[in-house]
Structures are given as structure tokens and as C-alpha cells.
Structure 1
Amino acid sequence: MTDRRGLPDAALRGTFNPDRLRQARYLAEKTKRELAQGTGVSPAAVGQWEAGIAAPRPDYMQRLADLLDVPVDFFLAGRRYVRLDVGDAHFRSLRSTPAALRAKAIACTEQVWELTHYLEQRVQLPLVDLPGFSGGEVHPGDYAGDPSGAARALRRHWQLDGPIPHLVNVMERHGLIVTYLPFSQAETKKIDAFSTSHLPRPIVVLTPDRSMDVYRHRFTAAHELGHLLLHNNIAPGDPLQEKEADRFAAELLTPSRLIVPELPKRLDLHQLERLGRSWGVSVESLIYRSHEVGTISEPTYRRAFQRLNQLRNLGLFPAESVNAYPGEIPSLLSKAFDVAAREGLTLTDLAAALKIRKTRLQTLLGRNDDRPQLRLVVD
């Protein structure tokens, strides 16, 4: 059997990578039925393409590329590829995250890894320095089930003393990939944030709604770091793992031996706000911390949140965007590209190597151009 160019069907299958079709479909949030309708074949045929049982003819590949907004050669074999499953990532809001959106998030993470892998062939990135991590596996060791102890151990290992002013950059300096992918606001409410340690480099994906509040953004990053350090056996959405990651984040950002002496003896929201600015955490976080360490009672704890919500409704204690804090914006991949660019690598070259659109590459590098576009209209 041959295709329209006279190529044997078996030879065409050898050049077509079915995983790339699956990845592109997930990124575009398309169903097999939608692809079938767009290409003029049956859903069963699309299923066979993704299963590797058959390969689409060249004319079908062009239609698929148009539908999924990728170059035709995106589907070709020959590039390094890693496949993640949904169970390989920590999703904080698993139950409220639709399956299609989880699949899209995983496909994005696969592309982030592929970009990282390509850049790492040209630029020496920081070695992964995460206790217990080795080649896609985490071994919590003595700190399994002890998130506060794990946070203290990591502080010692990374030689952190006092407040951590640039948490995201600290994570990047120790070889973790932190990325910021612009899902839509509706999507990020369902995705929240996620991470995986099932790759040669751990990856943490932060999302835009967290960036509207730098303190929430930092706590989320610390929470995902807790998952990477503590939870190799992922149980996405598991309440116990989520609580442990929260306890890790609180101890990492505000170690009890240092923060307890600074907490006010009587609850004072304005004093907590000043203290929060020093430590890079929210007033809410310090209220939780005060209750956790026993400096305020349960009734005081509840009244504090009621009062804070009232003041927030009056415009007090406003959230601050992460854009004012460059140390909290992921930059490792962008800086790695800059180094490679000095050796001659261009965005066009890199996009061609990865077989993706240049606009998609800029997104993965964190270089989206948010400026309004000037359009000239000719009468």
C-alpha cells in the first residue's frame, strides 16, 4: 500500500511520530472527533494515527497542521521526546480541573522540558541541587512525613538565613526549571499551579492569576517545591499531600524559630503587614502562622480574617503584582537563550529545531510581547 507520493505506508509510519499528534491536539484542546471533522476522516482513523497503527497521508498532515497551528514537520520523528502522564504531576486543584485542561498542562510541560533539553546542549545550566532528587526520582529520606523538618533541612542545604527575597530565582540557581505559562484566567482558576519531579530536571509551572499577588505567587512556588522534595509517589489532589506542601511552604518562607519572636503579642494587622513585607509573605499567611504557633486564639484568628476582609473591601491591604519583583519572575530559560544567542543561535533557528511556531517559542521562553499591536488601515 502506498500514499499519494508513492511512499510505502510502512515508510510513512516510520517518519510520523504519533505522540506529536497527541501533544499538539492536547495543546489545542481538540477532541479526536473535532480533528476527524476538520480533516474529513473518521474518529477511528484519528485514533489509529495517535496509536501509531497507521500514519496520515501528507495531505491529511497538512490539514492537521492547519487545525492545530503547528508546522507540518512538527509531526515528524527524530527529535528527543519525553512523555508525561497526568499522574506524574502535582495538581493542587485536580478534582476541579477538567481532563482536557490537565492534558494541555502536561503537554505544555513536555514542551518546556524539550526546550530546556535543547538549550542544555549549548549552555551549561546550573546542576540540579535538590536533596533526594536523582534523574527523575525523589527520595525524601529522613524527612518523609515531616514537611517542616524538610523545609529546615533545605534552608541549611541552600544556606538560606532569614527572609528569602527572590525565591523563584533561588530555585532556578539550584537547577530547577520554573516557568510561567499564560493560560487564560478561566483556565488558571481550574489549574492553579503544578509541578513534576518525573523528568531529568524538576519543573514548576506557575500561572497568571497567582502573579497578580506576589505573596500568593511566592507561597505557591514554595508549595510546589515542597511537593518536589516530599512526594515522589504522587497522589494528585490528595488532601494530606496538599497540607504537607502548605506546611513546608510556611516553614520555608517563615521559619518558626525566626518568625515567632517577631509576631506581635496582640494581633495588629498593620504590624503584620509590615512584617509580611520584610519576609515576603501575605498578612493572611502571618495570621495562619500566628494561629499555628499559638500566639493567637481560635476566636481571635477568626475575627482577624473577618476584619481583614472588611478592610480589603475598603481598598486597604491591596495585592501587589509580581511584575514589580523581578527576582520572582522565572528567567533561567530566557537567560540561557541569551547566552546561546551570543554564540549565534537565533529565535528562528531554535523554533525550526523544535518544529514550533516562533510565537509559541516566545511563550515558552517567557517572552510574550504584551504591547498593543499597531494596525494600519488603508481606506
Structure 2
Amino acid sequence: MNNSANLSFSKYRLKVAKDLRGLSNKDLSNILSCTEVTVSNYLNENKPFVPDFERIVLLSEKLGLPFSFFQSNFDTRVSDEQIFYRSFNRIKAQYRNSARAYSEFAIQTLEFFDNKISNLPKFKGINVDIDNLIDDPEKTALTLRAEWKLGMLPIKNMIGVLESHGIADFRLPLEVKEVDAFSFYHDGRPIIFLNTFKSPERQRFDAAHELGHIILHSDDVNVLQNMKEKENQADRFAASFLMPKDLFISNAPNNLSLQNMIHYKHYWKVSLVALNYNLHKLGLLSEWKYRANTIEFSKNGYYNSEPESIERDEPILLNKIIDILLKKEGRNFHQPLDFGFQIFDEITFKLTSNKIRPKLRVLT
């Protein structure tokens, strides 16, 4: 039976599903029991061929996506040239494809929120001539701190600060080291994805790093150009934003033993590796001591596992949005989002499932 004649079908959404799940045309042909040529025709937006009803049902079941996903008219597209990745060339195409798919789901989610809730924070950027500060990321970071009235003390919650200034934050469900974080603009709105696979300290630095890209490189047409230089600038921005120089130096312990450094990294809520680097960069650690520390950190596994880790920063605004929607519309408030609850929950830090998950009671 072929019901495709009057069936709405989005070829682009099939491509998104393919990218999201990291599938090849051959994989899809195996799922649909058809040839790779047929799959190519389904994906080709210039050809009229579409799957019949039964095959769309099969795609929905096998790929874990709602049937409505393949009928969606949502067609916002994100390209690699828009996204600030770290080490772009070292990221597998499969992971980049998945990241792009999640980016488009984030945009769809934000449009959904905008339709449901008014007066959400808007991003205003920074009121200085960035061209004068692009070569001094440290000064730019301090200027932004002043403009956002953050003072010079440690930032309690990086995600909360970003949200309050109109920067949307999402969780990247890919638990791979190759894609630790990324950011991009959509219609003037900055969007950041963070990988919770990393330690809370490194996630905070990633958030500050992506903020550096958003502030320093907002006018870039192709973010892939001069990426090594841009990455260095974003790292310098992040270090200064999280650890402002004057207070960092004045509060540093006189005896920089390992235990004192661990205590000091707790104060700034940064990784031990980042603290060690900043102490050396600002002249508080000799070259010899800095290198000795790096060897010890490597030996103890501190590059992969943070000693005495801090609590993870959590979204504040996003949490409030979900509370409001749950109260107003119930646990199925997400249904207009055609990519399904699981993906929505994953990219929104699993806030919804944590709220609606039934509590277990011990019966006596």
C-alpha cells in the first residue's frame, strides 16, 4: 500500500534525522528495505520521491522520532560556518552533523518559548568598539564584567549569568570529548551548547570561552577562518572573565602547595589546570614550578578528573520557564515540539523529567 500521494513529508527533516543518529545512506536503506538509490531520492529536495506511510512509520520507530517530525515544516538551517567549534578539523563529521541537528532543535525550542512566555531577556552585546579591544581579550572581559555589574568577585553561576543577559544555554547530549562546547548566533541571539560530560569546573570555563567568541567574534561571516587565533583569544577572555587579574593576584596564597591551590581553585570555581596556568601566566609561579605541577597533575589524572570537584552550575531561567509551562499546561506542554520529549529533555538539562519523575515511597 502506498499512501505517499497525499502525504506531507519533509526531505530536509529526513536528512536531519540521518545526521542526528549518525547514519549513512546504506544504514537507511537497510532500515527501509530499499536501495541506496531510493534513499538518495528521498533525500534529494529536487526530486519528487517520498517514502510511503509505512516507511515513515518505520523511520519513526527505528530512529526514535515522532511521526510528526518527518512532516514538519520547520526549516531553519545551521551551517558549520556559523558554529564556533574547538579544533574543527579534529571533530568527526558524524559529531558535527549531530551538533548541527541539536542546534536546529534549540532554535525551534527558543521560538516555542518566545510564543509561550513574554519579556524573556534579550542579548544587548557590549557597548564598546570591539575593534579596539579584539587584541586585548583580557580588557574586554573586564569591561563586560563592569557593564554587567558583576564586580570582581568569583561568579557563582556562569549559566545563570549568561541566561540573565539573553544568551540561551543548552546541553549537548553527545558525550564525546571531541565536542566539549560550541556556540553560534541565530537572528542576533547567541546560543551556547555545553557538554555535561566534562567536570563542573571545565564546563564553567567552556561557558566563559564561548562567551568570548560571542563578544569578540560576533561580526565574523565565516567562523572557521583564523580559528587558532580566535580560540586563543577566547581562552584569554575566559581566564580574565573568571579570574580577574587584580583580585586573583591579591588573594593568591603565599604558599602555593597543592592543597592550597586546590583550596584556591574552589574559591574561583575553576579547574586546577586552569588555575595553575593562570598563576604561571601572571608571574606567581616559576616556569619550573609550573612544569612540575603539570607533570604531577598528569600523573594523578587531574586532566581528566578534577580533585575535590565543585557542584555543577545549573540553568536558572530555563528552570523557571519549565516550571511555568508545567504549571500552565501540564506535563505534556512540550507536544508542539515535533522532535519529541526525549530530545527536548536532553537538551534542556533533563529539567522536565527530573520534575515529573514519580517519587518512590517505601511501603511498610
> Normalising to structure 2: TM-score of the pair?
0.85
Counterpart code for 1:130: G
Work out which of the residue numbers 353, 362, 367 in structure 1 matches 2:345. 362
CA distance in 1, matches of 2:67, 2:347: 20
Counterpart code for 1:115: T
**What do residues 151-170 of structure 1 show as CA deviations (whole Å, max 9, x unaligned)?**
11210111111211111111
Counterpart code for 2:32: T
Q: What is the SS of the residue equivalent to 2:332?
A: helix
1:170 aligns with 2:161: yes
Alpha-carbon shift at residue 310 of structure 1 (Å)? 5.1
Q: Pick closer, same or farther for the CA change 1:319–1:240 going to 2, 3 Å.
A: farther
Asked if structure 2 preserves the Cα contact closer than 8 Å seen for 1:81 and 1:114, the reply is no
Q: What is the SS of the residue equivalent to 1:197?
A: strand
- Provide the aligned length of Structure 1 versus Structure 2: 348
Structure 2 match to 1:44: 37
Structure 1 match to 2:280: 291
Structure 2 match to 1:4: 2
Structure 2 match to 1:330: 315
Asked if structure 2 preserves the Cα contact closer than 8 Å seen for 1:168 and 1:330, the reply is yes
Q: What is the SS of the residue equivalent to 1:29?
A: coil
CA distance in 2, matches of 1:235, 1:6: 41
CA distance in 2, matches of 1:116, 1:178: 10
Q: What is the SS of the residue equivalent to 1:295?
A: coil
1:206 aligns with 2:200: no
CA distance in 2, matches of 1:277, 1:373: 33
> Normalising to structure 1: TM-score of the pair?
0.82
- Structure 1 unpaired stretches of 5+: 134-138, 375-379
CA distance in 2, matches of 1:249, 1:312: 23
**What do residues 84-142 of structure 1 show as CA deviations (whole Å, max 9, x unaligned)?**
01221111132332101110011011111211110111112212233279xxxxx9443
CA distance in 1, matches of 2:202, 2:235: 12
Structure 2 match to 1:108: 102
Asked if structure 2 preserves the Cα contact closer than 8 Å seen for 1:150 and 1:248, the reply is yes
Work out which of the residue numbers 49, 54, 63 in structure 1 matches 2:58. 63
CA distance in 1, matches of 2:319, 2:110: 10
Structure 1 match to 2:324: 339
Work out which of the residue numbers 242, 245, 259 in structure 1 matches 2:231. 242
Alpha-carbon shift at residue 290 of structure 1 (Å)? 1.8
Q: Pick closer, same or farther for the CA change 1:241–1:355 going to 2, 3 Å.
A: same
1:23 aligns with 2:5: no
1:98 aligns with 2:98: no
Asked if structure 2 preserves the Cα contact closer than 8 Å seen for 1:163 and 1:280, the reply is yes
1:222 aligns with 2:208: yes
CA distance in 2, matches of 1:160, 1:179: 23
Alpha-carbon shift at residue 197 of structure 1 (Å)? 1.9
1:277 aligns with 2:260: no
Asked if structure 2 preserves the Cα contact closer than 8 Å seen for 1:227 and 1:245, the reply is yes
CA distance in 2, matches of 1:190, 1:308: 21
Identity, % of aligned positions: 27
Asked if structure 2 preserves the Cα contact closer than 8 Å seen for 1:94 and 1:191, the reply is no
Q: Pick closer, same or farther for the CA change 1:60–1:269 going to 2, 3 Å.
A: same
CA distance in 2, matches of 1:132, 1:59: 55
CA distance in 2, matches of 1:5, 1:218: 50
- Structure 2 unpaired stretches of 5+: none
Q: Pick closer, same or farther for the CA change 1:113–1:305 going to 2, 3 Å.
A: same
Which shifted more, 171-180 or 270-279?
A: 270-279
Counterpart code for 2:286: S
CA distance in 1, matches of 2:293, 2:338: 53
Asked if structure 1 preserves the Cα contact closer than 8 Å seen for 2:4 and 2:51, the reply is no
**What do residues 59-104 of structure 1 show as CA deviations (whole Å, max 9, x unaligned)?**
32222222322122211143x4321012211111323321011100
Asked if structure 2 preserves the Cα contact closer than 8 Å seen for 1:148 and 1:248, the reply is yes
Alpha-carbon shift at residue 174 of structure 1 (Å)? 0.9
Q: What is the SS of the residue equivalent to 1:354?
A: coil
CA distance in 2, matches of 1:347, 1:360: 15
Alpha-carbon shift at residue 30 of structure 1 (Å)? 1.2
Counterpart code for 1:90: F
Over aligned residue pairs, what C-alpha RMSD do you find? 2.9
Asked if structure 1 preserves the Cα contact closer than 8 Å seen for 2:65 and 2:340, the reply is yes
Q: Pick closer, same or farther for the CA change 1:373–1:338 going to 2, 3 Å.
A: closer
CA distance in 1, matches of 2:169, 2:196: 13
Q: What is the SS of the residue equivalent to 1:195?
A: strand
Structure 1 match to 2:143: 153
CA distance in 2, matches of 1:19, 1:123: 29
Asked if structure 1 preserves the Cα contact closer than 8 Å seen for 2:105 and 2:339, the reply is no
Alpha-carbon shift at residue 46 of structure 1 (Å)? 2.1
**What do residues 170-227 of structure 1 show as CA deviations (whole Å, max 9, x unaligned)?**
111111111123323xxx21212111124442111111221xx222121111111111
Structure 1 match to 2:174: 183
Counterpart code for 1:51: N
